[in-house]
Structure 1
Amino acid sequence: MVRELVVLGTSSHLPTRARNHNGYLLLWDGDGYLFDPGEGTQRQMTFAGISASKITHICLTHVHGDHSYGLPGVISRLAADGVEHTVQLHYPASGEAFVRALVGVSAPLSTLQLVPHGSAGQIASHLSVAPLHHRVETFGYRLTEPDDRTFLPAKLAAAGISGFDVGKLRREGSLNGVDLDDVSVPRSGQSFAFIMDTAPCPGAEDLADGTDMLVSECTFADEESDLARDYLHMTAGQAGDLAHRARARHLVLTHFSSRYADTAHLVAQAQARAPHSRVTAANDLDRFAMPRRRTTAV
């Protein structure tokens, strides 16, 4: 199954010729999580070759326009395409009136389910939120796959276990004197975190902890730390610090101020603080595959 991040927009407050307003679609097996659809997201999905029917969840971190003004277009496209599956719209409860206004100007979508949240915790299967620190109530998101085990074909063959018996062994833990531990190794579940529009804070740390892919705002370079503090955003170095403390495997930087035509120095600043993470600056229409699952060696 596909697990891939499709980047639809990477600007911050103002779009540029090269960067659309925010928009990020995480394809996770049969589900599609659309994060922070800013203005133009519907068109960016067309450029990316992504059908709106892929969307099963829409997740707003907060109700600033560059993270939400694309919502009516996306909902209207879902309605035009005749999407029949449930689409859950997650957002901070404090933004209820604003979100309902955006939904109200959209084409009616009978399968749209509004799911406001007001505190940290799990809000859907494998999906959880934690509060961030911004000028309005803001939440980051985390998708976590439960830990599991990876079977070792050679050991299964040596134990004489195949076909439906493999599933039975997984369910029951032992079969015909063979324990699950004898023919498999632990496998960490994959995890993804989305952290946008925030100063460094405990909620960001909780969301990022141990993630395979961490998407983090990087509005300013370290030289503009005063602006980052005043507007409650992060610098490249702070994003790197977050990834380093979290032991994140792949840090994807985004939400860049329009002042930065070239993001190479932002990557350098983040990488210097996160030497053990892969650090990438996202561009519109980039695609990033989730890192391979971590497996404990025998």
Structure 2
Amino acid sequence: MSARELVVLGTASQVPTRHRNHNGYLLRWDGEGLLFDPGEGTQRQMLHAGVSATDLTRICVTHFHGDHSLGLAGVVQRINLDRVPHPVHAYYPASGQVFFDRLRAATAFHETAELRPHPIGEPGVLEATGAPFTLEAVRLSHPVEAFGYRLTEPDGQRLLPAKLAALGLRGPAVGRLQREGRIELDGRTVTLAEVSEARRGQRFAFVMDTRLCPGVEQLAEGADLLVIEATFLEADAHLAAEHGHLTAAQAARAAAAAGVRTLVLTHFSQRYPDLSGHLAEARAQFDGELVVAEDLARIPVPPRRP
């Protein structure tokens, strides 16, 4: 199993179908499990996908329409039923606080776990203490307030074995060099920069219900993996604009312009039982790795750029 992968729990938009559950996406990122937009049925989809409540460390809700949040009540209660031993952080638009409160306490249950709310009032970097990444919220354009999410790993350094070998650096000395940034060797100072190169941190972006807007571009920029809604086809672009959504072509063009590596299309309207049109429309705009998401698919975060 990849240490960094997307587990697709549902791909439907407003109305689920026989083959598409309401939204739900779990991002496994090393020891973190981020659950995005848990729609109705998410708890059962987690069971089918082999995802447990203890895998969850953060829940990110883009907005409070039912297909993106009705599953929150069941997930919160499952976290408590399973006595998840670590805090679970919940991020959501502050303007939807009343809906969050209703879903959190939808029915009676015994509270045994710690859920830490983080209402989002303004776009920007979010509190994510202890996470090996930065989590950011960016405003989108939808009939209700909506935020997309962007996860960014800090840049690091990659050691170059040939340069280490040329200097005779090995074993504990390499560890010291990594920790301290420099080491004395045969009367000279060797710095980490001399035997390494910059390693770009990986980036993940999650873009749900929105029209084209600056936030889409900001979230997608340089993403290794972009999950983005593609509710409509171009023939129905007027419906997309009216209801605050994207077409497959619009999503793919945005991804191409942003230099995205792997593009995942999802959130499909019930009017399209066959998604071959989404694939064709997106492929005409985007020549990178392209996935038309299916329920219970597992999509690895692509390997680091060389």
Tell me the residue number matched to 1:8.
Answer: 9
Runs of 4+ more than 3 Å apart: none
Aligned to 1:221, which of 225, 233, 240?
A: 233
For the aligned residues, what is the CA RMSD?
Answer: 1.3
- In structure 1, list runs of 5 or more residues that go unmatched: none
Count of matched residue positions in the alignment of Structure 1 and Structure 2? 294
CA distance in 1 between counterparts of 2:127 and 2:5 reads 20
Residue matched to 1:181: 193
SS of residue matched to 1:124 = coil
Task: Point out the more displaced range, 131-140 or 182-191.
Answer: 182-191
User: Could you tell me how far apart the structure 1 residues matched to 2:171 and 2:13 are?
Assistant: 52
Verify: 1:284 aligned to 2:295, yes or no: yes
* Counterparts of 1:209 and 1:109, CA distance in 2: 40
Cα distance in 2 for partners of 1:72, 1:159 equals: 58
Determine whether 1:142 maps to 2:150.
Answer: yes
Match of 1:113 in 2: 116
1:294 aligned onto 2:297: no
Counterpart in 2 of 1:131?
139
Task: State how 1:42-191 maps to structure 2 within 5 Å.
Answer: 42-105=43-106, 107=109, 108-125=111-128, 126-176=134-184, 177-191=189-203
From the superposition, tell whether residues 83 and 110 of structure 1 become closer, same or farther in structure 2 (CA, over 3 Å): closer
Please report how far the alpha carbon of residue 167 of structure 1 lies from its aligned counterpart in structure 2 after TM superposition: 3.2
1:36 maps onto 2:37 in alignment: yes
Where does structure 2 lack aligned partners over 5 or more consecutive residues?
129-133
* CA distance, structure 2, for counterparts of residue 200 and residue 210 of structure 1: 17
1:246 aligns with 2:249: no
Question: Distance in 1 between the 2:12 and 2:230 partners?
Answer: 10
Offset at 1:210? 0.3
* Deviation for aligned residue 1:152: 2.0
State the alpha-carbon separation in 1 of the partners of residues 175 and 70 from structure 2: 46
Deviation per CA, 1:245-293, whole angstroms, max 9, x where unpaired? 1100011000000111221221221121122x21110000000110111
Determine helix, strand or coil for the equivalent of 1:273.
coil
- Worse-matched range after superposition: 76-85 or 176-185: 176-185
1:196 paired with 2:228, answer: no
Mean Cα deviation higher: 106-115 or 216-225:
106-115
Deviations 1:42-95 (A, max 9, x none): 000000011110000000000000000001111111111110100001000000
| In 2, Cα distance between equivalents of 1:226 and 1:274 | 22
Partner Cα separation in structure 2 for residue 6 and residue 109 of structure 1: 26
1:82-136 per-residue CA deviation (whole Å, 9 max, x = no partner) reads: 1010000100000000100100125325410111011111103311010000000
State the AA in 2 paired with 1:44.
Q
**Displacement of 1:170:** 2.5
If the length of structure 1 is used for normalisation, what is the TM-score?
0.95
Measured in 1, the distance between the counterparts of 2:28 and 2:293 equals 16
Q: Secondary structure at the match of 1:114?
A: strand
1:158 deviates by 2.7
Q: Which residue of 1 aligns with 2:131?
A: none
Q: Do the aligned partners of 2:231 and 2:246 also contact (CA within 8 Å) in 1? A: yes
Identical amino acids, percent of aligned pairs: 53
Please say if residues 75 and 109 of structure 1, whose CA atoms lie closer than 8 Å, have aligned partners that are also in contact. no
CA distance in 1, matches of 2:15, 2:216: 24
Instruction: Give 3-state SS (helix, strand or coil) of 1:204's partner.
Output: helix
For 1:67, the aligned partner's letter is: H
Contact between 1:76 and 1:109, CA under 8 Å: does it hold in 2?
Answer: no
**Per-residue deviation, residues 168-210 of structure 1 (Å, max 9, x unmatched):** 3223332222222322221110000000000011011111100
Do the aligned residues in 1 keep the contact of 2:83 with 2:113 (CA within 8 Å)? no
- Specify the SS of the correspondent of 1:43: helix
Deviates more, 1:262-271 or 1:160-169: 160-169
